[in-house]
Chain A
């Protein structure tokens, strides 16, 4: 598919999904009332709806949809960046330790937070987990990067292996924390690991969008470098790419992106791995297409998964991490089956 068409299709898909997601939910708000509330918020009209409808749409549903767009875009583009950096189709944001580092910090905070730092835990309230998750994710990634550094520069292979080892250590420590956890803490931990957009508020959307915009812009600037890296590290160097700075920028910006997502929404699996692959299967490996394409597709998949999560068993809801894989994986398999003949047999 030509790139321009792909972007048009993805952008329209995302726009449609955002409109549908804003209009549908467990709490019934008719389309005309949604419009009336939005016009009211823009100062163009007033009345015609119940105050509680405005409360639900404006303080609960819309921030949630917007957070889904931001988080999906961040996870999608971070996945594309890391797959480009590692030249490994299995690379996902988990591989450089962001997710597992964040999960470990959250596990320790949930289980021991009130024991070790009760005053701090009290003072930070709802901000405690996001801050812990972000710090844990970014620190673990920097450690992985530090281990991968040699006298000749950063070894991508060493980083990959260090990431796997850090994941194993984090998982073991999370297991230990789970063993020591109370029933309540254990379940909080389980649900954090399945991800949720439910805590969304406008301030959170603001923080994620601002930091996320920096991360997205940073990754977008690496597109030519990542294209050169696809040929091999030595080749990229000969082409004049500053390979070492490319590596650190790719790690920093993707850690920032995934750290933001993980901090507020827990672990939303699978998106970072699959969104870039889907774009590659549809439009080829050019980073100039894969980076923004993965961001658009990641956002669309997240909004769609959250919409299903909210509606399917209303008035209850499912964890979004379950649905990103359930919706994303069959789509990915379909693309894979269609492309198989072309890619692997021809």
Chain B
């Protein structure tokens, strides 16, 4: 979005403030009878939360998002309230929302408390790395937006797609060269370092959902720097690499060049797939699609 449209948006917002004040003073009775507006305006914090707002068709209620909300592309054009863990109370309030949709990582807690004390409803959109977690988050966001009907439609559609997908994966599980369940490492590059996903991560949950085994799932929790030797000794059958936003042309070649990989079955068979990290770890309404894509890519 260009600077001028942003200023215009803000100006429109400012212009709306005195009007709202006037209405508030003229119609106190009407307000008391109908305390909450039908379509509350919201600020959405968290990539998965923003995806849910769009999937529910609630984008007209969306005032701003955080910097992690990269999907859908239209979200990029909205004003940004900054990094999700360091929100600014005044910044969020200046946009005039009635509701703040706070994803799991939204914070700091003191700022959320300040926002709440200024009369904005803070809705925590929590839940784990499961399909049921996604359904729960959809229900929470739908209720906060006043779009319960859309929420039920979305959840029903996703559920039937999910059941079919589960059946498909159970019927044809991913197998390694020896016929055992496919053993996969999920790697992320941070500068010169390669980080591997351990247990309690979104990547670990995704591997489980496609019926694969995370080779580091038993070794450590969270994401840890990985040495060439530990990658070689873990001997994954396949690896999943990630990219952020746009995929660089030589990304796959660089993933295959990860030190130690050449000594593993994954390296020998060139079994490496690249995945958009927002899709892979979003755990939003695109979860069935992400699982289907990952299952297909690893099975190929």
Contacts and interface: CB of A to CB of B under 8 A. Distances in A.
Interface in B110-137: 110-111, 113-114, 117-119
A50 B17 contact: yes
A316 B80 contact: yes
Nearest to A185: B222
Interface residues of A, number: 32
Contact of B85 (A182, A188, A315): A188
B287 to A, nearest CB: 20
Interface stretch (B91-99, B144-152, B245-253): B91-99
Given A199-B108, A316-B80, A52 B119 contact: yes
Contact of A59 (B95, B107, B118, B221): B118
B82 A313 contact: yes
A79 interface: no
Nearest to A191: B86
Residues of B contacting A: mostly: mixed
A163 B119 CA distance: 47
A55 B17 contact: no
A7 to B, nearest CB: 32
A310 interface: yes
A28 B94 contact: yes
Interface string B67-86: 10000000000011111011
Interface string A55-78: 110011100000000000000000
B88 interface: yes
Nearest to B221: A182
Contacts of A183: 222-223
B64 interface: yes
B181 interface: no
Contacts of B79: 315
B244 interface: no
Indicate the size class of the contact surface on chain B.
35 or more
A27 interface: yes
A179 B198 CA distance: 13
A52 B93 contact: yes
Contacts of B114: 59-60, 201
Given A28-B14, A28-B94, A315-B91, A55 B118 contact: yes
A184 B82 contact: no
B119 A60 contact: no
A51 to B, nearest CB: 7
A86 B95 CA distance: 50
A183 B200 CA distance: 11
A191 B85 contact: yes
Contacts of B229: none
Nearest to A319: B86
Given A28-B14, A55-B118, A198-B108, A61 B90 contact: yes
A50 B223 contact: no
B16 to A, nearest CB: 12
B90 A196 contact: no
Contacts of A315: 64, 79-82, 88, 90-92, 94-95
Interface of B: 14, 17, 21, 64, 67, 79-83, 85-95, 105, 107-111, 113-114, 117-119, 200, 221-224
